[in-house]
Chains A and B, each alone.
Chain A
Amino acid sequence: MEKVKKGVRLDHISKIYQDPKTGKDFYAVKDTSLTIEPGSFVTLLGPSGCGKTTTLRMIAGFESPDEGEIYLGDEPINELTPNKRDTAMVFQSYALLPHYNVFDNVAYGLKLRKVPKDEIKERVTKILALVELAGMESRMTNQLSGGQQQRVALARALVIEPSVLLFDEPLSNLDAKLRVTMRTEIRRIQQEVGITAIYVTHDQSEAMALSDQIIIMNKGVVAQMGTPQEIYYHPVDEFVADFIGEANFLRGRMTGKDGRYVTLDVEGNPLRVPGRDGMEAGTEYTVVLRPEAATLADEGGLPCRVVLSCFMGSYQNYHVMVGDTLVKLEEHNPKNKRIYQVGESCSLVFDPESVHVL
Chain B
Amino acid sequence: MARGQGAALDRKKLMADPIMVTTIVVLITFLTLFILYPLAILLVDSFVGDGGFSFGIFQRIFAMPTFTRAITNTLKVGFVVGILSSLIGLLFAYVEVYVRLNKFAGGLFKVVSMLPVVSPPFVLSLSMIMLFGKAGLITRFLLKIYDNNVYGYWGIVIVQTLTFFPVCYMMLKGLLKNIDPSLEEAARDMGASRWKVFTSVTLPLMLPGLGNAFLVTFIESIADFANPMIIGGSYDTLATTIYLQITGAYDKAGAAAMAVVLLCITLAMFAVQKYYLEAKTAATLTGKASRARMLIEDKSVKIPLTILCSLGALFVIMMYICVPIGACFPTWGYKFFPLTGKWFAQVFTKYHGLKAFKDSFVLSLIASPITALLSMIISYLVVKRKFRAKGFIEAVSMLAMAVPGTVLGVGYIRGFSGGLFHTGILQGIYGTGLILIIVFVVRSLPTGTRSGISALRQIDKSIEESAYDMGADSFKVFMTVTLPLIKDSFLSGLVTAFVRSITAISAIILLVTPSFLLITVQINEFAEKGAFSLACAFATILIIITYGAVLLMNLFIKHFGTSRINKED
Query: Is A60 on the interface with B (CB-CB < 8 A)?
Result: yes
A-side contacts of B189, CB under 8 Å: none
B-side contacts of A113, CB under 8 Å: 471
Most-contacted residue by chain A among B1, B9, B471, B569 (CB, 10 A): B471
Most-contacted residue by chain B among A25, A79, A81, A99 (CB, 10 A): A81
- Closest B residue to A108 by beta carbon equals B470
Contact A82 B465 (CB under 8 A): yes
Query: Is A91 on the interface with B (CB-CB < 8 A)?
Result: yes
Sample (14) of A-B pairs whose CB atoms are under 8 Å apart: A16-B3, A63-B6, A67-B5, A79-B13, A81-B16, A82-B465, A83-B470, A91-B466, A93-B462, A97-B481, A109-B471, A112-B470, A142-B568, A160-B471
Contact B472 A65 (CB under 8 A): no
Most-contacted residue by chain B among A66, A88, A92 (CB, 10 A): A66
Contact B463 A95 (CB under 8 A): yes
B212 CB, min distance to chain A CBs, angstroms? 24
Query: Is A208 on the interface with B (CB-CB < 8 A)?
Result: no
- Closest B residue to A91 by beta carbon equals B462
- Closest A residue to B10 by beta carbon equals A64
Query: Is B17 on the interface with A (CB-CB < 8 A)?
Result: yes
A-side contacts of B107, CB under 8 Å: none
A-B CB contacts (within 8 Å), total count = 112
How far is A184 from B472 in the complex, measured between Cα atoms in Å? 31
B-side contacts of A98, CB under 8 Å: 463, 485, 562, 565-566
Query: Is A143 on the interface with B (CB-CB < 8 A)?
Result: yes
How far is A78 from B471 in the complex, measured between Cα atoms in Å? 16
The 8 closest A-B pairs by CB, nearest first: A64-B9, A109-B470, A95-B466, A66-B6, A95-B462, A91-B462, A112-B471, A64-B6
B-side contacts of A243, CB under 8 Å: none
Q: Given contacts A64-B9, A78-B9, is CB(A25)–CB(B469) below 8 Å?
A: no
How far is A255 from B7 in the complex, measured between Cα atoms in Å? 55
Contact B569 A112 (CB under 8 A): no
A-side contacts of B471, CB under 8 Å: 83-84, 109, 112-113, 160
Interface flags, A70-110, vs B, CB<8A=1, else 0: 00000000111111100111011101111100000000110
Query: Is B28 on the interface with A (CB-CB < 8 A)?
Result: no
How far is A112 from B562 in the complex, measured between Cα atoms in Å? 23
Query: Is B47 on the interface with A (CB-CB < 8 A)?
Result: no
How far is A140 from B564 in the complex, measured between Cα atoms in Å? 12
A-side contacts of B529, CB under 8 Å: none
B-side contacts of A81, CB under 8 Å: 13, 16-17, 468, 473
Q: CB < 8 Å: which of A60, A63, A79, A97 contacts B469?
A: A60
Interface flags, B1-45, vs A, CB<8A=1, else 0: 111111101101100110000000000000000000000000000
B-side contacts of A79, CB under 8 Å: 9, 12-13, 16
Interface flags, A276-316, vs B, CB<8A=1, else 0: 00000000000000000000000000000000000000000
Query: Is A15 on the interface with B (CB-CB < 8 A)?
Result: yes
Chain A residue total in the interface (Cβ 8 A):
40
Q: Given contacts A61-B13, A79-B13, A92-B462, is CB(A66)–CB(B467) below 8 Å?
A: no
Interface flags, B527-569, vs A, CB<8A=1, else 0: 0000000000000000000000000000000000010011011
Q: How large is the interface on B (under 10, 10 to 19, 20 to 34, 35 or more residues)?
A: 35 or more
Query: Is B106 on the interface with A (CB-CB < 8 A)?
Result: no
How far is A83 from B468 in the complex, measured between Cα atoms in Å? 5
Contact B13 A25 (CB under 8 A): no
Considering the complex, which residues of chain B in the window 463-490 have a beta carbon less than 8 Å from any beta carbon of chain A?
A: 463, 465-473, 476, 480-481, 484-485
Query: Is A62 on the interface with B (CB-CB < 8 A)?
Result: yes
Query: Is A27 on the interface with B (CB-CB < 8 A)?
Result: yes
Contact A99 B13 (CB under 8 A): no
Main SS at interface, chain B: helix
- Closest A residue to B459 by beta carbon equals A98
Query: Is B460 on the interface with A (CB-CB < 8 A)?
Result: yes
Q: CB < 8 Å: which of B468, B565, B566 contacts A82?
A: B468
A-side contacts of B562, CB under 8 Å: 98-99
Q: CB < 8 Å: which of B1, B2, B470 contacts A156?
A: B470
How far is A112 from B470 in the complex, measured between Cα atoms in Å? 8
Q: CB < 8 Å: which of A87, A88, A140 contacts B565?
A: A140
How far is A271 from B10 in the complex, measured between Cα atoms in Å? 56
How far is A99 from B5 in the complex, measured between Cα atoms in Å? 37
- Closest A residue to B4 by beta carbon equals A66
- Closest A residue to B476 by beta carbon equals A112
Contact B3 A160 (CB under 8 A): no
Contact A66 B10 (CB under 8 A): no
A107 CB, min distance to chain B CBs, angstroms? 10
A-side contacts of B16, CB under 8 Å: 79, 81, 84
B-side contacts of A60, CB under 8 Å: 469
Considering the complex, which residues of chain A in the window 4-61 have a beta carbon less than 8 Å from any beta carbon of chain B?
A: 15-16, 25, 27, 60-61
Q: CB < 8 Å: which of B5, B17, B465, B469 contacts A65?
A: B5
Interface flags, A111-124, vs B, CB<8A=1, else 0: 01100000000000
Considering the complex, which residues of chain B in the window 419-474 have a beta carbon less than 8 Å from any beta carbon of chain A?
A: 460, 462-463, 465-473
A-side contacts of B6, CB under 8 Å: 15-16, 63-66
- Closest A residue to B466 by beta carbon equals A95
How far is A83 from B466 in the complex, measured between Cα atoms in Å? 9
B-side contacts of A140, CB under 8 Å: 565, 568-569
B-side contacts of A65, CB under 8 Å: 5-6, 9
How far is A295 from B115 in the complex, measured between Cα atoms in Å? 78
Given contacts A81-B17, A113-B471, 5 further A-B contacts (CB under 8 A): A63-B6, A67-B5, A97-B463, A140-B565, A140-B569
Contact B565 A89 (CB under 8 A): no
How far is A160 from B469 in the complex, measured between Cα atoms in Å? 11
Interface flags, A187-214, vs B, CB<8A=1, else 0: 0000000000000000000000000000
Q: CB < 8 Å: which of B13, B465, B481, B566 contacts A91?
A: B465
B-side contacts of A160, CB under 8 Å: 470-471
B-side contacts of A95, CB under 8 Å: 460, 462-463, 465-466
Most-contacted residue by chain B among A93, A96, A98 (CB, 10 A): A98
A-side contacts of B472, CB under 8 Å: 83, 108, 112
Interface flags, A146-164, vs B, CB<8A=1, else 0: 0000000100100010000
B-side contacts of A61, CB under 8 Å: 13, 469
B179 CB, min distance to chain A CBs, angstroms? 27
Contact A66 B5 (CB under 8 A): yes
Contact B467 A108 (CB under 8 A): yes
A182 CB, min distance to chain B CBs, angstroms? 18
How far is A108 from B471 in the complex, measured between Cα atoms in Å? 9
Contact A99 B9 (CB under 8 A): no
Most-contacted residue by chain B among A16, A63, A80, A142 (CB, 10 A): A16
- Closest B residue to A99 by beta carbon equals B484
B387 CB, min distance to chain A CBs, angstroms? 12
A-side contacts of B17, CB under 8 Å: 81
A-side contacts of B3, CB under 8 Å: 16, 25, 66
A80 CB, min distance to chain B CBs, angstroms? 8
B-side contacts of A91, CB under 8 Å: 462, 465-466
How far is A97 from B566 in the complex, measured between Cα atoms in Å? 13
A316 CB, min distance to chain B CBs, angstroms? 41
